[in-house]
Structures are given as structure tokens and as C-alpha cells.
Structure 1
Amino acid sequence: MASARSDFGALLHAWRDRLAPADAGFPVTGGRRAPGLRREELAQLAGLSVDYVLRLEQGRARNPSAQVVGALARALQLSRTERDELYRAAGLLPPRDGTIGTHVPPGIQRLTARLGDVPIGVFGADWTLLWWNGMWSGLHGDPALVPVGERNLARAVFGTGAARASMRPFRSDRGHGAFAASIVADLRDAVSRYPADAGLDRLVRELRDTSAAFAQLWTTATASQHTSDRKTVRHPELGDITLDCDVLVVPGADLRMVTYTAAGGSEDAGKLDLLRVTNGRAAGTLP
């Protein structure tokens, strides 16, 4: 058992040393004693405390949860094979096929981190937020402040908890009703493709039980899936920012990259520039 914990810590340390700070969205500065991520940077990316990451690396923290291991795997930009190795080193079974994936390929993470001028969030098939860059936090608020289980767009639209409370006011050119219906349509499609996913089943059952609007849309609506839109987000400091919102599908991973852009030279582009200067920080991922 001690050997397994030691292997887990050794893998964390080795893969942390391997990951270039620029690929994780951190500025490259002088004074680094090692080429990889600092321990506090990994902790920030994974949404964990620095002390907990230290104890994991030293083998003093036992039995990390599947959520913690998944967050570390995404933060370290591991391949699927490496991710599975990390799960096994923690004494856990890797995620099963046939369930909604939470693995964000390293290339997508690097792309998200390096496109620092554009707010980008990466979502799973159930609209759970898996990865985001600093501009996303600046535009929508920091997802790390929202409890892990609440970081889901359907919960933000139809729920009554922290996700709903954290969502900044916005308007959709398609209309709020069409936007809400498209989220339900996406979940209905996900259920048809992942019938054995227990988390998705819980999400749908909970929203059907607690939201009359969701329940009605689930049983009666015929809606198109959520795609491109034009949205106006009410920012607490900068006021209304009107942006083109595009949803890009990641082939082979069943992920959605949501991006927000503005036409160059526009007032809204100027607000995005100001947002980058005042709110930019490293990318993040949920535990």
C-alpha cells in the first residue's frame, strides 16, 4: 500500500516537472530552478491546496478521490494512457467506456491556455465545465469558487443552487427560451448516447424533480442543439459586453469548446482587452 502511494507521488512529481509553464497558461519568467510547473501552480490548476499536493507527492495523503485524480490528470495534461496509470496508482479504476468523458486532451488544454485573448471554456457532453482559461474567469467569474458538483450549465440555467447564483446576467439573441431549450436538447441527446452514465441520470432526474421548466422541456420540447449565438453578458465592473459565442466540437472526445469573441476595433473588443489586462490569470480545471 505504501509502495502504491509512493508510485502515485513519484508520477505526480515527474509529470509536473515535464509540463512547460507556457503550455499551462503561466508566464515564463526567470528564477525557475526547474523547467516544469511549480507545486503551487499545479495546485492552482487542479483546484487543490498546495499542502495537499505536497502530501500527495510525498505519499503522506492517502486515498485521493476519483475527482481529485481526474483534476490532477487534466492539470498535468496527461494522455489517456497516462491518466489511467495515475488512477491505478491511486488504487482506483480508470473511467469506464460508455460514460461521459472528462478527459481534456493535452492539445486542447495548450490551445485554451495560449489563446489568452479569448474567453474559452471546455465542457463535457452533459455541459459540465471541465477546463477554462483566465479570460473565461474574467468574463463569467471564477469557476473555482463554485462547488465542484455545481459547475454545470444546466444547473446554472435550471437549478437553484450555487451554479444559478454564480451565473452573471446575460441576454441571448436567440432568446432565453430558445437557449434553455437547446441545453435540454443536448442533455436528451447525451442520455441517448450514454444510457449507463449514473451522473447524467442523477442530473436529469434532479432537474426534472426540482424545475418545472426543465421537466416541461424534457417531455414536450423539440429543440435544436446549442450552437453559435450572440450574447450580452453583464459584467460587474465593465457593464454590458456583447460578444459572438461559438460552440466548437472536439472530434473524438465529445467535448465542446465555447469561445467568446468581438469584432476588432469595436467597443466590446476594447472591453475584452481591458478584461485581459485586469483579470487574466492561468487556466483552470475542476477537481
Structure 2
Amino acid sequence: MASAELGTAIHRWRDRLPPGEAGLPQGGRRRASGLRREELAQLAGISVDYVTRLEQGRATNPSSQVVEALTRALRLSAAERDHLYRLAGLAPPAPTSVPTFIPPSVHRLLDRLGRTPVAVYDATWTLLTANPPYAALMGDSTRWKGRQLNGVWRHFAGPGSGVRHAPQSLAAFESALVADLRAAAGRYPHDRALAELIAELRAHSVRFTELWDSGTVGVHDAARKTIDHPVVGPLTLDCDILSVAGSDLRVMVYTAEPGTEDAERLALLMVLGTQEVAV
């Protein structure tokens, strides 16, 4: 029975993943070395009850969004991800779709940079995952849904990001965002979700439409950005965007120059975490 096989596979992968490797604390006595159900639910952004029903074979038709979230939470390899899709009765994402698979090596990178704000985006600038320091800096993305997870949409049609831009840097930033999206559309012309995103942006943002129709080009250079944080005040940080070879992912990293007031504020923010943050 496919649903029983699905539940068995999820349970097996959960049992083999220590919480430390998933970026969670390992404190407390544990009957098994792997993740608890509530920990998997937290990492995947789904309810504990739903994880239970999946493992017991009582939830038989998880969506592709749930399967992809479980793939990331369980740190599955590409082959395991495809197997999970098939067990769920879904076709694995086609090569023509924008890749959202995060290799285990990138997960380990986020774990190792435990005091540095780091986020991983796909080729459309949709946020796939972020570590706790990034959430403390930019806001808790687990509360974001749908289009709110897309950085292009947030900038042109949504609430923005709290980053302060000078006029010249704003123009360069917007050109780079639109150029990235156009390049992604060229690489993945049959991706329906990407086409819908572009259509929605054109319908809701005059500025995006102007840049798109003008054929603007641009690249994301390393930049210094000022973030107006509601708790610790403004932080001017270096923002670097790294590409992951073979996966079409973007890794965004924020760092502060050592010995500066910005470094002190960032260190304070890492202590505060997201407890008092509402960006």
C-alpha cells in the first residue's frame, strides 16, 4: 500500500537525522537519536497531527509543497527526494521547472554559520530556507505565505524588506531583480509558477512593468545595505550573494565589519533572536 510505504519512509528518514544536523538543539533525554515528530513538523512548517497521519498512512495525498518541505526538513538527497515524490503519488519536479532542491551540503553551510544571517533562495528569488540569525535580522519567514516568500514580489508589490536604499543603489537593485527574473524565465520557459509570478507582478507594479518592458539588465554585486531594525536600530552590513554550482540557488549572507557599532548591534540581535522581533 503506497500510503503505508510513504509513512514508513518518512519515519525511517526522521529516525536517522539527529536534531543537531537539522539545526536544532540536542538537549534533553531522548529515546531515539533522530528527530521527534514535533521537530519534523516544526522544520517542515506543518502540524504534528499531519506528520502523525502521514506516518500512520492516514494522509494519502500530500501536496507537492508539503513533499518539498519534508525533503528540505529531512535533508534528503536528490534520489531520495524523487522517491518521496513517487511515494506521494506525484511526479518529481521536471528539469524544466525552477529547482528548489537544497543539497545537504548547503544545509550544512547554514548550520556552520550559526551566528551569521544566511538565507537560500531559488532562481526566482523565492525564499527556500533561512537560519535563525537571518530570521532575527529580517523577520520570521515561517509566518510568510505564498507570494510573501518571493523577494521580487515583496519589493515591487508587497511590504518591502526593511532595507534602506539610496536612489542609485535602489535603481541597480531593482534592475538586478528584474534581470534575474527574466533570465530565469529564459532558462525555465515552461515553469507555470514562474509565468504566473511575472504576470502578477506586471498586474500589480508599474515600476516592475517599466523595467521588464525596457529590457533592463543588471547583476547582483556585493553591496553594503542598511537595515532599519525595530529593536536594535539601523545596521549597515555587507551583503554577499553566492551561487551554488549545479543547483541554481542563491545564498545570501549578511556580515558586519569587525569592531564597529554595527557588529555590536548584530551581536546583540543574535542574542535577542526573534523573541521581540516583528519585522
**TM-score, normalised with respect to structure 1:** 0.92
Residue 22 of structure 1 contacts residue 114 of structure 1 at CA under 8 Å; is this kept in 2?
Answer: no
Q: Residues of 2 paired with 1:203 and 1:96: CA distance? A: 19
Q: Distance in 1 between matches of 2:9 and 2:109?
A: 24
Q: Paired residue for 1:169?
A: 162
Query: After superposition, where does 1:230-249 map in structure 2 within 5 Å?
Result: 230-249=224-243
Asked if the contact 1:23–1:114 (Cα under 8 Å) also holds between the matched residues in 2, the reply is no
* 1:279 maps onto 2:273 in alignment: yes
Deviation at 1:55, TM superposition (A): 1.1
Displacement after TM superposition at 1:37 (Å): 1.2
Partner of 1:224: 218
Which of these residues, 116, 124, 139, is aligned with residue 126 of structure 1?
Answer: 124
2:143 counterpart of 1:145:
yes
Secondary structure at 1:276 match in 2 = helix
Q: Is the 8 A contact 1:123 1:129 kept in 2?
A: yes
Shift of 1:149: 3.6
Aligned residue pairs: how many?
Answer: 274
**What percentage of residue pairs aligned between the two structures are identical?**
50
- Higher RCO, 1 vs 2 (CA within 8 Å, ≥6 residues apart): 1
Match of 1:136 among 126, 134, 137: 134
Q: After TM superposition, give the deviation of residue 124 of structure 1 in Å.
A: 0.3
Q: CA distance change for structure 1 residues 145 and 229 in 2, over 3 Å: closer, same or farther?
A: same
> C-alpha distance in 1, partners of 2:197/2:97?
14
CA distance in 2, matches of 1:234, 1:50: 35
User: Partners in 2 of 1:100 and 1:78 — Cα distance?
Assistant: 18
The secondary structure found in structure 1 opposite 2:120 is strand
For residue 95 of structure 2, what is the aligned residue in structure 1? 97
RMSD: 1.4
1:80 match: 78
Q: TM-score, normalised by structure 2?
A: 0.94
Which residue of structure 1 aligns with residue 53 of structure 2? 55
Provide, for residues 241-275 of structure 1, a one-character-per-residue CA deviation record: whole Å limited to 9, x for no partner: 11000000000000000000001221111112112
Q: Give the counterpart of 2:206 among 188, 192, 212.
A: 212
Which consecutive aligned stretches of 4+ in structure 1 deviate over 6 angstroms post-superposition?
A: none
Match of 1:41 in 2: 39
Q: Which runs of 5+ in 1 are unaligned?
A: 282-287
Report the equivalent of 1:113. 111
Secondary structure of the corresponding residue to residue 91 of structure 1: coil
Deviation at residue 223 of structure 1 after TM alignment: 2.7
Point out where structure 2 has 5 or more consecutive residues left out of the alignment.
none
Aligned to 1:188: 182
What do residues 172-200 of structure 1 show as CA deviations (whole Å, max 9, x unaligned)? 36522221111001001111111111111
Matches for 1:257-276 after TM superposition, within 5 Å? 257-276=251-270
Equivalent-residue separation in structure 2 for 1:205 and 1:252 (angstroms): 28
Matches of 2:248 and 2:234, distance apart in 1 = 32
Distance 1:148 1:279 in 2: 24
| Aligned residue number for residue 200 of structure 1 | 194
- Matches of 1:117 and 1:19, distance apart in 2: 22
Which stretch shifts more, 93-102 or 143-152? 143-152
